[in-house]
Amino acid sequence: MISVAEAIQIVRQQTRPLPQERVRLEHVLNRILAEDVIADSDLPPFDRAQMDGYAVRAEETNDAPVRLRIAGESAAGRGWHHELKQGEAVRIMTGAPVPAGADSVQQVELTHELKDGTVVELLESVEHGKSIVRRGAEIQAGATVLQSGTSINAAMMAVLAAFGYAEVAVAQRPRVGVLATGTELVSVNEKPGQDQIRDSNNYSIAAYAQLTGALVERLPLARDETSVLTNQIAQAIERCDVIVTSGGVSMGVYDVTKAALHELGAEIFFERVALRPGKPTVFARLPNGTLVFGLPGNPVSVAVTFNLFARTALLAMQGANEPALKYESALLARRVKGNVDRESYLPAQLTTNDDGELIAFPLKWGGSSDFVAFALTTALVIVPAGTKALEANAIVRVLRLP
């Protein structure tokens, strides 16, 4: 049995980056950047007024109140491109370029215009540099503003737009086939007959995969027969970079996933992880290069193992800087038990207390089949292998779930 950390390491080693593609800006939200984003201009591109008011020479306002002749107007998109002379002010709007010769902007609230708008009176003096953002103060042309491997969020869309990235180089989306195994399974639109249950794993796996940016194909439900499963995998491999199966990896007579993988000539990298829930997780590669994650059937095991291993692979294939979920620390709200030889990943809810500390509330749950309780889970609390129990108020490692 290997540890979770070793298994994640193996996943990363065996995962190859997909090629990149150029995608129109409006379609790149949540995709992974495949190029550094470079500023093509200074920001701001000119000395910019931060307030509505009057552009002036600060030293001429030292004896305020003072009167200055209004020489012109600088509006956003329509600047006043002359040199400000002694005794002059320019009416200026937020976002407009500050004219040469001016070194500060007095806000409009501290002024009033006289003589039909030809003269302005400044009621107070203004500091040198006031309410001006200098050219290049935010970003200088040529600077790297976003790094390759970053997942593009809503705020970054503005950055891409501002620097003219009408098209963006991003990693191709992995194609993921989702394949539920189990003779007991029927699809969501059927009423389960005797001894049957509805397949729910395909929906959670597909959803978690989509959150990584993957393109999901739902493969037909597979009965627990080696030849059936072998055929279904064989038919899908050419269309899939990754296949995620659920069920059929334990030691039962009808657990045929590994047999099917062997039949197909797969190289198996691991098949038992010191993890609770999720010990019998399989990771393999088929001769054509398709990676296979054989997850256990229980829905909670599916969620845990997908997010530890398959998610990491899907993000690594897209060149993500941090493909694996990141560990955080939290205070444990109540006692939880551990396991002798496996690391436990227990469903919990994360909140903060009045001091702003992260608190993990382990949920009451009925074990790895209890997907209804799991629907309220926002994080997993980690109990190290060999730890009998962790007491309330212990500092624990947690993983926030996507």
User: What residues make contact with ligand AMP under the rule CB under 6 A?
Assistant: 180, 182, 184-185, 197, 199-202, 246-248, 250, 252, 296-299, 369
Location of structure tokens 């799991």: 374
The DSSP bridge partners found for residue 32 are 151
Cβ distance to ligand AMP smaller for residue 205 or 360: 205
Q: Binding mask 288-307 vs Mg ion (x if CB under 5 A, - otherwise)?
A: ---------x----------
Please tell me whether residue 178 adopts helix, strand or coil conformation. strand
Cβ distance to Mg ion smaller for residue 202 or 377: 202
Q: How far is the CB of 265 from ligand AMP (least distance, A)?
A: 23
Put residue 184 in one of left, alpha, beta given phi > 0 → left and psi -120 to 50 → alpha. Answer: alpha
Cβ distance to ligand AMP smaller for residue 46 or 254: 254
Q: How far is the CB of 294 from ligand AMP (least distance, A)?
A: 10
Determine the residue with CB nearest Mg ion. 247
Q: Which does 21 bind (CB under 5 to 8 A by kind): ligand AMP, Mg ion, none?
A: none
Distance between CA atoms of residues 222 and 242, nearest Å: 17
Q: How far is the CB of 17 from ligand AMP (least distance, A)?
A: 30
* CB neighbour list of residue 195: distance below 8 Å, 6 or more residues apart: 184
Taking CB under 5 A as the criterion, which residues in 121-150 touch Mg ion? none
Q: How far is the CB of 180 from ligand AMP (least distance, A)?
A: 4
Q: Which does 197 bind (CB under 5 to 8 A by kind): ligand AMP, Mg ion, none?
A: ligand AMP
Cβ distance to ligand AMP smaller for residue 39 or 275: 275
Cβ distance to ligand AMP smaller for residue 221 or 264: 221
Distance between CA atoms of residues 234 and 56, nearest Å: 75
Determine the residue with CB nearest ligand AMP. 297
Cβ distance to ligand AMP smaller for residue 74 or 257: 257
Please tell me whether residue 393 adopts helix, strand or coil conformation. coil
The DSSP bridge partners found for residue 49 are 132
Q: Which does 246 bind (CB under 5 to 8 A by kind): ligand AMP, Mg ion, none?
A: ligand AMP
Distance between CA atoms of residues 84 and 96, nearest Å: 15
Cβ distance to ligand AMP smaller for residue 223 or 400: 223
Distance between CA atoms of residues 309 and 42, nearest Å: 42
Q: Which does 200 bind (CB under 5 to 8 A by kind): Mg ion, ligand AMP, none?
A: ligand AMP
Q: How far is the CB of 172 from ligand AMP (least distance, A)?
A: 28
Cβ distance to ligand AMP smaller for residue 97 or 182: 182
The per-residue DSSP string of 195-259 comes to: T-EE--HHHHHHHHHHHTT-EEEEPPPB-S-HHHHHHHHHHHGGG-SEEEEES--SSSTT--HHH
Q: How far is the CB of 48 from ligand AMP (least distance, A)?
A: 57
**Applying CB under 5 A, which of residues 44, 79, 97, 247 lies at the interface with Mg ion?**
247
Q: Which does 250 bind (CB under 5 to 8 A by kind): Mg ion, ligand AMP, none?
A: ligand AMP
Q: Which does 30 bind (CB under 5 to 8 A by kind): ligand AMP, Mg ion, none?
A: none
Location of structure tokens 């029927």: 186
Q: Nearest-CA neighbor of 7 among 302, 267, 296, 324?
A: 324
| Structural contact between residues 64 and 110, judged by C-beta atoms closer than 8 angstroms | no
257 phi, psi to nearest 5 deg: -60, -45
CB atoms within 10 A of CB 169: 17
One-letter identity of residue 282: V
**Applying CB under 5 A, which of residues 53, 79, 177, 182 lies at the interface with Mg ion?**
182
Cβ distance to ligand AMP smaller for residue 105 or 282: 282
Q: Nearest-CA neighbor of 164 among 22, 21, 37?
A: 37
Name the residues that contact Mg ion, by CB under 5 A. Answer: 182, 247-248, 297
